[in-house]
Chains A and B, each alone.
Chain A
């Protein structure tokens, strides 16, 4: 006779046919709920979390891949064109997953704390922003004084080339930053990278004179997107029009296109990261992280590998930057503040330093908290503020609540709490890295 407890239930869910049934049920329920009520946040969270179920439960790998592809390529686009906000969130999540995976290489694998990581993202974004807009012809004009009929420098389809260029340029930036500072110890490195991040932001802010490279605080807009061929729109409508319920316009389909592009980039990044993790380079990074002196004694070329870590991490951010610039058609220095760097860091820390599934989970969680939960709360509070409701005992009318109390603005509080709590109670993160688990296991056995 077994007691019914959570762990027993979890064990049962991993046996026989149960994983398949549960996963399918979760996915279908999520998809159905979102389809029925396209505005519900809870339904959407249910759908997103089904990917987690798919990952956790023990099912056949082929089943996982097929179902995952089904969710990514069929369910999401349909749901997304019905409520564009969902696609936006998914796109944001993919951007931050890429950034977090890149930072994970630097912090998690090589153990170099980079606090200015968002600078590489900015490099990628501004690269395409400059070449993919009219900015080249705006060079001699001060911000706000340029004529409106300037031509574009490059056709929109050059974007694909610039995705590659963004990788290269960001990697070179990473190496250039790395070269002088790699001799420094961990905490000094953190400060210097922080400074570097601020320098890049300030440059973006101030390089509107003597030649107007970045258009200053106003940012560059419009930035071109790659063209979406008409036959793709027609094909999408032919297949999905009945399910969506109405023909989909090109503008909406652009969001689907960027979602798919982001998905491809993420897939490539994940594959690269997984291949790197247990490769010769990955093991050398771990060696450097654990003990630099010992690593050098073992013949690990320290400088070259640290530079590789910087370059690889930077390139992930660079490519996402270019993608973001094209998707938004707008970049401004505000998007690259120190807070963004810390946000990405808290994603990595929350999920698990050095753990790929952990980092993905961390990025998704923090982004959803940021975009859905905090904003949902803000909305709820502003509704309360407009109502006549009064908190009973202390006799406080919601209407008197300060309009400054807007949870969506308090991201720093969220990031700060995540960082402190994780460091004190679970420094290895929600899903600890497997290598780290092995290390922890051997450490505790040594102690005994």
Chain B
């Protein structure tokens, strides 16, 4: 089945879109049914009474009223995780090692984007009287700059800290990667704090990103979505589809898959393995950087250590989906983002305030450990032909 690589393959665009739709819908429905079931079961117990006392609504109503918002937030978070997870999973697929520094590549992307926007604001380019459309253009520029710098950094890191270690025992590059991660954290902090005296940055407010679009009304309660959440989702979906197309339907993608499957043989077939590995880091870093800017847009405040938890969770997502597998990373990201948001919102209700949102990080690790114990290959790990 020899298909020309030059023609545009529409099915490689539709397939990931379909997958995303299926994953999102499936995880939304399963988790929603689960909490509704829980609410139904505990409706008439002390938990239900506690909710009624605190919020003045019955447990079932509270659950249902919050549900649409939770689903929106969960999906947004899930797509951000998926975009970061793809970086881990691509590098793991090609080199079989955990790129610890990926979370700092993410942070670099976030800082470049935010610094650029702060500079735009200082020159009066954004905010105020400018048209809405231009706000989107400036955001796009910041996004692209973040992607460019993060991608370049990822390639540099590979060149300096990983390439000399090729062929060394497994733990050696891993430890080097941890070193890079720590080094970059403090390097960012050094640069940021020497220039302004503070090491955190706040995303400037401009455009209409904080506005909310009402979607529909349930029982007198309007469900809405913030424009920036919508931007995050759309941008993430475009990137995920683009990556999928790149890996599955282009010549470079074919080379990446070949190197992932068998490095010596790929080399014998005339593929420049080092170039492809650099390419993998470039793509992964670019995605990570974009995710960083999107994260800054959504959560506003960033600091040099901002990458740590999203990085860990994205890694969890990659493992959850089956590491080395692109579709798996997508699934893992969406499921983890959903689970985390659900846990953050409902855990405190169902435990009567004993364990609340502060345990949501622990929750993610718990999932990671459970997955590794019961299904170390991840949810989609067996699908080796998809490995990239």
Contacts and interface: CB of A to CB of B under 8 A. Distances in A.
Contact of A349 (B175, B187, B365, B366): B175
A210 B372 contact: no
B329 interface: no
A420 interface: yes
B10 interface: no
Given A209-B354, A210-B354, A404 B369 contact: no
Q: Which of B185, B197, B358, B362 has the most CB of A within 10 A?
A: B362
Interface of A: 107, 111, 113, 115, 180-181, 183-184, 186-188, 190-192, 194-196, 198-199, 202-203, 205-206, 209-210, 338-339, 342, 345-346, 349, 402-405, 410-413, 415-420, 423-424, 427
A413 B187 contact: yes
Contacts of B176: 419-420, 423-424
9 contacts: A115-B178, A183-B373, A183-B376, A199-B365, A202-B359, A402-B194, A419-B175, A423-B172, A427-B172
Contact of B358 (A115, A194, A206, A210): A206
Given A206-B359, A404-B198, A418 B190 contact: no
Given A402-B197, A417-B183, A419-B175, A188 B354 contact: no
Contact of B372 (A184, A415, A427): A184
Given A113-B174, A402-B194, A404-B198, A420 B179 contact: yes
A419 B182 contact: yes
Given A420-B161, A420-B176, A191 B194 contact: no
A242 to B, nearest CB: 48
B66 interface: no
Nearest to B182: A416
B194 A419 contact: no
Contacts of A107: 171
A108 to B, nearest CB: 11
B339 interface: no
Given A196-B365, A349-B175, 8 more contacts: A180-B373, A183-B373, A339-B182, A402-B194, A402-B197, A419-B176, A419-B178, A420-B176
A402 B182 contact: no
B161 A404 contact: no
Contacts of A405: 190, 193-194
Contacts of A190: 98, 171, 174
Given A191-B368, A195-B312, A404-B197, A416 B181 contact: yes
A402 B193 contact: yes
Given A195-B312, A196-B365, A186 B171 contact: yes
Given A184-B376, A209-B354, A423-B172, A342 B182 contact: yes
B362 A416 contact: no
Q: Which 3 A-B pairs have the closest CB atoms?
A: A419-B179, A416-B183, A404-B193
B346 interface: no
B279 interface: no
B278 to A, nearest CB: 18
Interface string B314-327: 01000100000000
Contacts of A418: 179
A221 to B, nearest CB: 22
A276 to B, nearest CB: 21
Nearest to A177: B369
Nearest to A113: B171
A135 B182 CA distance: 35
Contacts of A194: 312
Nearest to A188: B372
Contacts of A192: 368-369, 372
Nearest to B179: A419
B170 interface: yes
Contacts of A191: 98, 312, 315, 319, 368
Contacts of A338: 308
Given A405-B193, A413-B186, A417-B183, A195 B178 contact: no
Interface string B182-211: 111111011001111111000000000000
B175 A345 contact: yes
